[in-house]
Structure 1
Amino acid sequence: MSAGRLLSVLLLLQSRGRMPARGIADELGVSVRTAYRDLARLQTAGVPVYAEPGRNGGYQLLDGYRTRLTGMSQGEARALFFAGLPGPAADLGLAAEVTAARLKLLAALPADLREEATRTAAVFHLDAPAWYRDPEQAPHLTLFVDSVLTRRAVDVRYRRWRAPQEVHRRLRPYGLVLKSGTWYLVAAAESRIGTYRVSQVLDAATSDERFDRPRDFDLGAYWTSYLDEFQTRRYTGTATVRLSPRGRRRLPDNLPPEVVRAVESTASVGDDGWAEAVIPTESTQHACGELLRLGGDVEVLSPAELRQAMADTVGVLARAYGIA
């Protein structure tokens, strides 16, 4: 028997309310039989757990019963203070609530873990936006937070990259994701789930429509799948290039990691030190702009249209500076 698992069962019931034994078993990765056995042991220990029969029944704690937060390991106490970091919490309009929750959590911890958690909070700071970028302004973010939590649809006017650039949508928000300082809304629109950059929402208003988020929707799994699909859609072609030794050193600071990995895996270095490699490309125009960051440390061998685009751009620059 695991005392830690019994505590997990107790905290599950305390935080979730009524749960079937199957749900408890799935959460803890044990068999249903083990979940029944743990529930019985809690009852034997004097914890007021009782069963509610019926199709929607399950196990729950007696109303009003609470347990102090005990049994935490040092690592668990540290990890809790990575939740609700102040920057994202402020963006979501939850800074005061997060601060209050942290104080209450500290008060509930034993003295040694309280000291460990305080030390952890003092030595980590999250600054989400990348270098050379100002934080994106997302004035409608708190409206979407409320919509996600209350499950109310939102009518938006949204600016996108393809024509028509401005569109109107009724969104049913499923969740919010912060990536590199940029907030994204995952929402259902009509019959499909999509991803929307919150800073590109021009207008937003909460509607009277209520909706139910699918029980089997997993925000983390959706986001991972979305990123994989994005990379597949993003790179539609390839180019063969030559890179000087300095150009290869400059790659990580100037081109995306997918290009860097492609060079590392396909590069063939000649006697002159220059390496020939095959890299993924989005479009001729986009690839030309990215590769020009390397200046004379890169030469495009193929395709012909990208090589010509590089030559044309260099020619324009030469004329602008009176060289040609």
Structure 2
Amino acid sequence: MSEIKKIATRDSYGNALTELGKEYDNVYVLDADLAAATKTGIFQKAFPERHIDCGIAECNMVGIAAGMATTGKIPFVSSFAMFAAGRAFEQVRNSVAYPHLNVKIGATHAGISVGEDGATHQCNEDIALMRTIPGMVVINPSDDVEAKAAVRAAAEYDGPVYLRFGRLAVPVINDTPDYKFEIGKGVLLQEGTDITLVATGLCVSETLEAAKKLEADGISVEIINIHTIKPLDEEIIVTSAKKTNKVVTVEEHSVIGGLGSAVCDTLAANYPTKVMKIGVNDVFGESGPAVELIKKYGLDAESIYNRVKEFARA
């Protein structure tokens, strides 16, 4: 058996930006002294005249990008999710989203998989923050293929977009001929009748592994990959819920305000359904190896399998 290819979506981000730079001379990249970590250094090497290091001044960086957007440029601002969504929230809200400017936010190192950087840098609140901003598109890709497609789609979309990327290398799962990325459209990965699993980001691959064990136990699983959390594909969620009548959401994010909350909002309004949310349970992270943290916080395939099995048979 060939080894599964694993790539960190932050690498995908840097490579996708560079490819875009070859096609669009109005694509610019701004970074907050983290080009090596966010992988925008790949773009910087190819297009040094279109890469701006703003230093450790994320709020100022967002303001600069807003100004650039008014001149017809497509700026991608890049930093860790904790700083892009957290520290610069006011500037993202007021300088970018309020005037609906064409700024893209590339937020890397999201979630507990940041690992040894610890709780201060493990941003599990960014999706919730960005969801609350009017007109903000929120995308959380699951692998290299999806991340590259998301960056291109963001560049082609007119308006603010928040893109969430990870530090940890994750399996490539979307390298199929029929894969298609479209903002606001979920991807049905597997049909089933007993329970619906809705996953996003790095949790998609773990959910797929968990589903294999559930199927072996005789539980028919429907799996949906939600890469765009806002606008949410309500149709795919409601249609699946009507088939299974039980839904589980899986995310490397707080269970408050993220994918789980978005799905619950949709089902409460359209088809009230029993939902279980798997994610970070209103706690801060901690320092440690990423893979071990994912297991400790119950986001690995085995943990997902155990919780879903119990929920499915309840």
TM-score with structure 2 length normalisation? 0.25
**Bigger relative contact order, structure 1 or 2, given CA contacts below 8 A and separation 6+?**
2
- Find the structure with the greater CA-based Rg: 1
